[in-house]
Structure formats: structure tokens, C-alpha cells
Copies of this chain bind each other. A is one copy, B any other.
Amino acid sequence: MEMELDEKLEELRELYEKKEFSRLKGLLSELNPADIAAVLDELPDNQRLLMFRLLSKEEAAETFVELDSDNQEALIHAFSDTELREVLDELYIDDAVDVIEEMPATVVKRILQNTDKQTRDSINALLKYPEDSAGSIMTPEFVDLKKNMTVEDAFKRIRRTGVDKETIYTCYVCDNSRHLIGVTTVKELLLHDYEDVIEDFMETNTISLNTLDDQELATQLFDKYNFLALPVVDMEQRLVGIITVDDAIDVIQEENTEDIQKMNAMLPTEKTYLKTTVFETWKSRFPWLLLLMVSATFTGSIITGFEDKLASLTILTAFIPMLMDTGGNSGGQASVTVIRAMSLGEVDFSDFLKVIWKELRVGFVCGSSLAAVNFVKIWLVDRTLFRNDEVTLIVDLVICLTLIIEIVFAKFIGCSLPMLAKKIGFDPAVMSSPFITTIVDAVSLLLYFGIATALIPSLH
């Protein structure tokens, strides 16, 4: 299937170069807007407009939405007012808002001037919702029915108004003050007789979001309930919009990418990897690298402070990387697991003690098993094989004891910091591996040197 698509796109480029516009038009109508957009994104500005003009009205709008925002902006500049209006008329309102959010003020002004008052009001209303709120990703275009309608009435209404709706399959039943009182689906309607009244079979246990809810809650509900659309109500419980499942998928992928970036010491970037410039990539990576670099110098000064004792028993230095890495990895495992569980809605702050109790036990089991392996390895390899006389039983014990305690500590810090961060309103994803590693590194070294000083007579 992918092969076939590549061939078609190749043909598209050839027809364009040969200026065979009528065949080109035919081929374009067979392609999916997302694929046409991928071709258009690669064309130079002047050619893009030319090919765009070959698209049918509806296809043009669908393709427009999928373009890079830079290219959307260039097209808007090149459009006549009539062309701009034609594209805008065909856009769903939430898509129009997505486009507008990326545009400079002058372009936004021109866009709003070329929409009718009702659309303009809707767009302005959506623009006001906070970023990442349910309101900011919903669309105000949905099928609304009345409870006393029959199935036949409902179908008439869908046929009349459905063409402009992003989804018609979930229909919302509202009372006269626009309160959501029930939901039904086209499937239900199709399986009932024409005379049946909606009130008699609609689902009244409606699950809805508030406009100010976090978009993450929307993704959790889609994941849990398998909906095709979710209703969004305002403070007065009036239905003001819906979120469709395709937008939910976009949000899920965006949020996952963001979490993964934050978990790995990067500021989120919005563009795809290959479209991000070197400078933009640097901007997303430098701040955390700098912060972590500065923190790591404290770890360095812990070592410096212990330098004299290390010089008197140099073997201790050899185990520093192993202890630091293992502590960091253990803490990272715990933090990432808890962050993920919170973002999937599996864990919340009420589970705080349960999570800590679990991680303490996991830490103890991981620590003990690793310590056991390490104890034997040090004895057999470092002591017996390499005949290193500095490796005494007590040194071996110091290392293994440090390992157990640091892993338990790492698991504790790793699971509790993200939960506390979320509780006080920070993004838990930031409390992840690199950050935890830095704390655990310092604590591990202090532990190591403390235990060594306490147990090894020659260091007293």
C-alpha cells in the first residue's frame, strides 16, 4: 500500500512538471488530502499556489489544514480575498482555530475579516480558552437533537445540517436552555424504527468534560470509554462543543511526545524532528543540559571533599561510576513508571502511600539482588582473579550495603517527587530520570563515603 502511494506521488510530480493539468486534477481527486499536503509542502511557494488551485473546494480546505503553518501563511498571503473566503468557509471551526493560533497578528486579522460574524464569534470564543484545555481543542459544530424528535425527524435534521459537522455519528440531545440531557448515535437511530422517539432510547448517563478541564483528561476518557466524540459543557452545564476522536489521537501523540521530551531533559518542541532547525533543537536541549551540568559540579565537589581518604584507599574510586549509574537508573525507572501511570490516569495522589510502599519493597528486592551479584563478582573477579589486595571483605560489604540503601532511596525519591510535583501543580514529567539522577548521584556518594568512613578502620 505504501509503495502504491509513493508511485502516485511520483506521478503527481511528473504530471506537474509536464504541465498536464487536467490529468493532474484527476489524480489529485484520488489522493487523500494528507498526502497532497505532503507533496505541496515540498514545492516552492509559487508552484504550491498553482497546484492548490487545481483542488476541488472541499479538498482544498482539507489539504490546507494539513500543510505546515509556514506554508499556510505563504498561501494566505498569496490568496485573493475570494480564495481565502472559500477555504475558510469549508474549514471546521476547530481547524480554523488551529491555523490561526500559528499565524502572526496581521494574518489573523485578515482571516477574521474574511469570515462571517457567527464564525468569527465562534473562533474568538475558542481562542480564549487556555492552552491545553478541553475548550481549546473542541469544535462548536455538532448534531443537536431534541428529546421529543422521532428517528425520522432526527435523520431529516442530520441530512439537513450534517454536511458541515465534523462528526454526525454521535448526536447530542439538549433541552431548551442547551443543557445536555442525553446522547444517541446514528447506529442506534438506524437500528430503531422511524416512529420511535429519541427520549425513549437515548443514553442519559452522559459523560462530559468541562471547557477548562485539562486535555489530558479528555484523552483518558477516550482511552477508557471508546467514544467517537466527547461533549464539552461550560460552567452552567450548557453544551458548547465536542471533541472528536481524531483530534484526541493528535492530542495523545502530542502529549506523549512532550512527556518523552521532558522525561529526557528537553523542552518540548512543536515541529517534527526533521523540520526543527539546529538552533531550535539547541534551544530545547541546552537549558536542561546547563542546569544538570551545574548540578553535577556539586557531585564533583563531594568527591573532592573526600579526596584524601580516596587517595589512601584508591580502590574505592573504581566503584563510583557503578554506584552512580545504578542509583540513577533505579530512580529513573521508578519516576518514569509513576509519571506514565499518572498520565494514563491509573494513579493519582490518593495512591501516594501505596506507591511509596510498593517502590520501597521493589527497591529493597532490586537492591538486594544486585548487591548479591555484586558481592560475588567483586570477590571472584576483583579479589581472586585480579588479586587486588585492597579488596577486603569489609570493602566488598561497604559497596554492597551502599548499593542496597541507595537503590531503596532512589526508588523512594523517584516515585515521590513526580507525585508531589503534580500535587502542587507542576508538570511531573520534569521530575524524571535526569533530575532524579542528579539528586541520587549526590546522595549515593555521600552514603558511600559515609558508610566507608564508618566501617573501614583505615579511613577513621
For A163, the chain B residues whose CB sits under 8 A away are 191
Q: Is the CB of A1 within 8 A of B207?
A: yes
Nearest Cβ in chain B — how far from A125, in angstroms? 21
Query: CA–CA, A51 to B396, complex, Å?
Result: 57
Is A292 an interface residue when CB atoms closer than 8 A count as contact? yes
Does A285 touch B at the CB level, under 8 Å?
Answer: yes
Q: With a CB–CB cut-off of 8 A, which chain B residues contact A168? A: 187, 190
B279 touches A365 (CB 8 A): yes
- Contact: A282 with B369, CB < 8 Å? yes
Among B226, B285, B317, B346, the residue within 8 A (CB) of A272 is B346
* Chain B residues within an 8 Å CB radius of A365: 278-279, 282
Select from chain B the residue with minimum beta-carbon distance to A342.
B273
Contacts of A279 in B (CB 8 A): 365
Contacts of A210 in B (CB 8 A): 1
Contact flags A278-312 to B (C-beta < 8 A → 1, else 0) = 11011001101110111011011101100100110
CA distance A222 to B337 in the complex (A): 26
A300 and B272 contacting across the interface, CB-CB below 8 Å: no
Q: What is the chain B residue whose CB lies nearest that of A445?
A: B321
In the complex, chain B residues whose CB is within 8 Å of the CB of A204: 30
Are the CB atoms of B362 and A253 closer together than 8 Å? no
Chain B minimum-CB-distance residue to A62: B226
Main secondary structure of the interface of A (DSSP, over half): helix
**Closest B residue by C-beta to A65:** B226
Partner of A249 from the list B245, B358, B370 (CB cut-off 8 Å) is B245
Tell me which of B264, B301, B324, B341 contacts A336 (CB under 8 A): B264
Interface residues in A235-260 (C-beta closer than 8 Å to B): 245-246, 248-250, 252-253, 256-257, 259-260
Structural contact, B336 and A366, CB atoms closer than 8 A = no
Contact assessment for B293 and A326 in the assembled complex, using a CB-CB cutoff below 8 Å: yes
Q: Tell me which of B32, B155, B224, B337 contacts A273 (CB under 8 A).
A: B337
Q: Is the CB of A293 within 8 A of B248?
A: no
Return chain B residues, CB-CB under 8 Å to A5: 207
What separation, in Å, do the CA atoms of A336 and B264 have in the docked complex? 7
Given the contacts A34-B224, A263-B260, A293 and B317 also touching, CB distance less than 8 Å: no
| Chain B residues whose CB sits within 8 angstroms of the CB of A228 once the complex forms | 169, 228, 245
Q: Which residue of B is nearest A233, CB measured?
A: B1
Is A437 located at the chain interface by the 8 A CB criterion?
Answer: yes
A453 part of interface (Cβ distance < 8 Å):
no
Q: How large is the interface on A (under 10, 10 to 19, 20 to 34, 35 or more residues)?
A: 35 or more
On chain B, the residues within 8 Å of A340 by CB distance are: 257, 260-261, 273
Closest-CB distance, A42 to chain B (whole angstroms): 14
Asked whether any CB of chain B lies closer than 8 Å to the CB of A373, the reply is: yes
Q: How far is the CB of A4 from chain B (nearest CB, A)?
A: 9
| Contact A290–B332 (Cβ < 8 Å) | no
- Chain B, residue nearest A434 (CB): B329
By the criterion CB–CB under 8 Å, are A296 and B311 in contact? no
Cβ-defined partner of A441 (8 Å) among B169, B285, B317, B321: B321
Q: Nearest Cβ in chain B — how far from A327, in angstroms?
A: 10
Closest to A433 in B: B264
- Across the two chains, which residue of chain B brings its CB closest to A357? B278
A402 at the interface (CB under 8 A from B): no
Does A131 sit at the interface, judged by CB under 8 A? no
| Cβ-closest chain B residue relative to A359 | B281
Query: What is the CA–CA distance of A324 and B256 in the complex, to the nearest angstrom?
Result: 28
Question: Which B residues touch A292, using CB under 8 A?
Answer: 325-326, 329
Q: Which residues of B contact A320 (CB under 8 A)?
A: 300, 303, 320
Cβ of A31 under 8 Å from chain B = yes
Question: Which one of A226, A278, A315 has the highest number of Cβ atoms from chain B below 10 Å of its Cβ?
Answer: A226
Judge if A319 is at the interface, Cβ distance under 8 Å.
yes
Contact assessment for A325 and B337 in the assembled complex, using a CB-CB cutoff below 8 Å: no
The answer on a CB contact under 8 Å between B155 and A190 is yes
Q: How far is the CA of A169 from the CA of B78 in the complex (A)?
A: 38
In the complex the two chains form, what is the Cα distance from A163 to B189 in whole Å?
11
Contacts A/B (CB < 8 Å), 24 sampled: A1-B210, A30-B205, A34-B225, A158-B190, A159-B191, A168-B190, A222-B246, A223-B253, A249-B252, A252-B256, A260-B260, A261-B340, A263-B264, A273-B340, A273-B341, A292-B329, A296-B325, A300-B319, A303-B317, A303-B320, A303-B321, A311-B314, A324-B324, A325-B438
Which 4 A-B pairs give the minimum distances between C-beta atoms?
A: A226-B246, A273-B341, A299-B321, A296-B322
